[in-house]
Structure 1
Amino acid sequence: MTTLSIAEADQSCIYIEKAKQLAQQYAIDAIERDQRGGAAYEQVNLLRESGLLKLLISTKYGGYEQPWSSALHVVRELAKSDASLAHLYGFHCINILVARWIGTPEQVEFLERGTAENNWFWGNSVNHSDRRLTGRREGEGYRIHGVKHFSSGSPGSDRLVVAWRDESDDALVHAAIATNKLGVTVHDDWDGIGQRQTGSGTVQFDDVYITADELLESKEQAGKAFATLTPILSKSVLTNVYVGSALGAIEDAKQYTIAHTRPFIASGVEKAIDDPWIKRQYGELWIQAAAAESFTDRAMQVLDRAWHRGFELTIEERGEAAVIVGAANVHAGNVALEVTSRIFEVMGARSATRSQGFDRYWRNVRTHTLHDPVEYKLRSVGDWVLTNTYPSTLYS
């Protein structure tokens, strides 16, 4: 089992403390920004200033080389007040590492060192189910054209991971490019009911030339288990968004209940905090959230071990990580949906107004859980329980 040394644990606490400070800043206008929507330029700049963007980058390139659990704890803390920024941070961490399995060593150094030195913030335009972005070989590079939706983090980013289909053979091709590259237009047109400031809208590519050094098409690590970790990483990020959202919702509801909620008329008490029904509800909600947090912590330990193995990771070790992370993701998502819905029961009717903004917790969780249906993750875990078959590396 991979464990942190005392020095590493102390260092990790420093980053988590920074995340808590950021979360407090985000909380100040979180309701207003959620209702307004649009890109979170100022909040992303605060992330840049925090130094957290280079948390996972190798120390030899100027980063802090922390385990994934450190980054995921940051995601969880941010999600307590702003799930959009938690999402953006988590996927930034994934995007900067993509070159490690489909790039050359030279590309890895250039992109990680550039991020560490310049505080580059990474977005993506890789939604594989959106096939409207295509390209053709031209010289040593590619000429691409079209649009791509669900491009989270693209507004205000410095770098983008991009994926398109080759027009000749339908192969999937990736690149890491500057967001301000000629012919690239980021549209701030995301209008989801939740995750309102993730910038998950459309990026347009008008006859954009991708140079050879921007292409991520190294085959050196193809087929290795470590090169298939992206689905596990993305599920881990969202799991911590769910847990953070549930914990943040309970804390917000608690403060409201103490200050504003009236006891039910039949309770026979004068204060809401003395209402036995309200007490029972809070106990139940907290227990569910604590259980989800504990399961998620276990999943993060498994992920850390898998990540530490690097390209020595076996398909069996990868499969075990996929099962635990997938199961934690299902549990955390279900708990977060229930908690963020039921907080209104312990706050009362006056809490259900737009100005209070408590509904953003549920809307954020609901929006994410729709992207990765619980049904298929449950079937994958059930298949493993019955037949010891590991989940597909393509989706899990």
Structure 2
Amino acid sequence: MSQLTAQHALLLARELSARFAVDAAANDLAGGRPLSQLAALRESGLLTALIPEAYGGPGLPWSTVLQVARELASGDSAVGHLYGYHFLALSGVLLRGSEAQRQRLLGASAREHWFWGNSVNTFSYSLFGQRSGEDYVLNGYRPFSSGSHIADRLLVAWEDQDSDVRFFGSLAVDQPGITLAHDWDGFGQRQTGSGRVLFENVRIPAADIYGAADSGANLFPSLGAVIAQQVLIAVFVGTAWGALRTARDYTREHSRPWITSGVERHGDDPWVRRVYGELYTSTLAAEGLADRSLALFDQAWAQGSALTSQARGEVAVATAAANVFAGDTALDVTTRIFEVMGARSATKTQGFDRFWRNVRTHTLHNPAEYKTRNVGNWYLNGDYPEPGIYQ
């Protein structure tokens, strides 16, 4: 049994975040695979954090795991993203797998410190499976497969070629017929490997196939969509803190007062102080909403297959509200820091634009408008959001 505690996990996350922040700008510019960061995460034991004690892990709650993701994102947004998505992919076996699958896959993941990537993308109708006895043979591709480029194991979703029913399972990334395209071309999150995974006659055995699509009788698998939103909240809040702290340090050490400001030190300008006060306050508020939604998520997760529609609805509303506010706050922070750092901060060498590019990339894949409407409908009419792929 692992001895990793919540307190220790957060301490490790802060230490690693500070280390990753040193090279974050250069790594963002280079793109590619964050292998040194992955090695550090393996060595720390943080890749096992969520795995229950029954399967060899420390059994830490989602709230701790996502706070770790937030801390990592404050140092390097791509690493926070990958860490959160690792547990989103790993959670597939907890949400849909049999007890035998949990024992085998989670046990191995705890022992070997596997990193999990995903190849699920809910909008892509591009990967199909043909029955072959009890197994499936997969052909096609999935885009936006975050973490696939450094993964040991992949969470995969495909449509049955005949019935169109969606199935989930997991595969070793070195399975014959799997090709990582390495074609992620986003201007943000450049180290996340969020491109395509190609499948050519890839056999997935029955032992690695989870349950079929969600059924109305069991709401527990529908929490997967909420986890995805929670990961994004962690990235938004973490990136906002990282941008704000980086800007503060730059302002203290390098920024020069404007010629008509009447002050000798940039930090003494009342305008600069007001902007930092506003950005700090809004980021603190975003973190508070995030923590509130995490507490509700822990409660919902603990219900397992007995999850009620009320508990699911409450966490969906809280998560949507936190997500919208965190995304808006992160966009505001990562834009306005340039106003108070000054013209010399807007260079490629500094790389401060990475904060905005990373946040903007995520918010475009996750429109706030529809979550805001869900929150408004609940507040106005008392209707919880219907469980779906994006809430």
TM value normalised by structure 1: 0.95
Q: 2:230 aligns with which of 202, 215, 236?
A: 236
| 1:196-211 equivalence runs, <5 A | 196-211=190-205
Determine what percentage of the aligned residue pairs are the same residue: 47
Aligned residue type for 1:385: Y
* Deviations 1:362-396 (CA, angstroms, capped at 9, x unpaired): 10000001111111101111110111111121131
Aligned-partner Cα distance in 1 for 2:131–2:5: 46
Residue 177 of structure 1 corresponds to 171
Conserved in 2, the CA contact under 8 Å of 1:144 and 1:207?
yes
Q: 1:278 aligns with which of 269, 272, 276?
A: 272
CA RMSD across the alignment: 1.4
| 1:207-356 equivalence runs, <5 A | 207-217=201-211, 223-356=217-350
Aligned-partner Cα distance in 2 for 1:142–1:174: 11
Conserved in 2, the CA contact under 8 Å of 1:34 and 1:196?
yes
Aligned-partner Cα distance in 1 for 2:240–2:262: 30
Q: 1:378 aligns with which of 355, 367, 372?
A: 372
Segment drifting more, 371-380 vs 34-43: 34-43
Match of 1:182, SS state, is: coil
| Structure-2 change in CA distance of 1:220 and 1:385 (3 Å) | closer
Conserved in 2, the CA contact under 8 Å of 1:187 and 1:203?
yes
Aligned-partner Cα distance in 1 for 2:37–2:265: 38
| 1:3-82 equivalence runs, <5 A | 11-82=5-76
| Structure-2 change in CA distance of 1:185 and 1:28 (3 Å) | same
Deviation at 1:220, TM superposition (A): 10
Conserved in 2, the CA contact under 8 Å of 1:243 and 1:332?
yes
Aligned-partner Cα distance in 2 for 1:339–1:95: 30
Aligned residue type for 2:355: Y
Aligned-partner Cα distance in 2 for 1:143–1:317: 37
* Deviations 1:64-117 (CA, angstroms, capped at 9, x unpaired): 101111001101100111111101101111211211232211001111101000
Segment drifting more, 56-65 vs 35-44: 35-44
Conserved in 2, the CA contact under 8 Å of 1:134 and 1:144?
yes
Aligned residue type for 1:170: D
Aligned-partner Cα distance in 2 for 1:375–1:223: 29
| 1:137-216 equivalence runs, <5 A | 137-216=131-210
| Structure-2 change in CA distance of 1:219 and 1:191 (3 Å) | closer
Match of 2:75, SS state, is: coil
Conserved in 2, the CA contact under 8 Å of 1:37 and 1:191?
no
Segment drifting more, 360-369 vs 225-234: 225-234
Residue 7 of structure 1 corresponds to none
TM value normalised by structure 2: 0.96
Q: 2:105 aligns with which of 104, 111, 115?
A: 111
Conserved in 1, the CA contact under 8 Å of 2:165 and 2:212?
no
| Structure-2 change in CA distance of 1:45 and 1:222 (3 Å) | farther
Gaps of 5+ in 2: none
Conserved in 1, the CA contact under 8 Å of 2:129 and 2:139?
yes
Conserved in 1, the CA contact under 8 Å of 2:69 and 2:81?
yes
Q: 2:96 aligns with which of 89, 92, 102?
A: 102
Residue 4 of structure 1 corresponds to none
Deviation at 1:42, TM superposition (A): 2.1
Aligned-partner Cα distance in 2 for 1:142–1:347: 56
* Deviations 1:334-366 (CA, angstroms, capped at 9, x unpaired): 000000000000100000001001110010000
Aligned-partner Cα distance in 2 for 1:32–1:254: 20
Deviation at 1:221, TM superposition (A): 7.6
Aligned-partner Cα distance in 1 for 2:217–2:336: 45
Deviation at 1:222, TM superposition (A): 6.4
Conserved in 1, the CA contact under 8 Å of 2:126 and 2:142?
yes
Match of 1:136, SS state, is: strand
Aligned-partner Cα distance in 2 for 1:93–1:245: 19
Q: 1:390 aligns with which of 380, 384, 391?
A: 384
Aligned residue type for 1:379: R
Conserved in 2, the CA contact under 8 Å of 1:80 and 1:249?
yes
Match of 1:155, SS state, is: helix
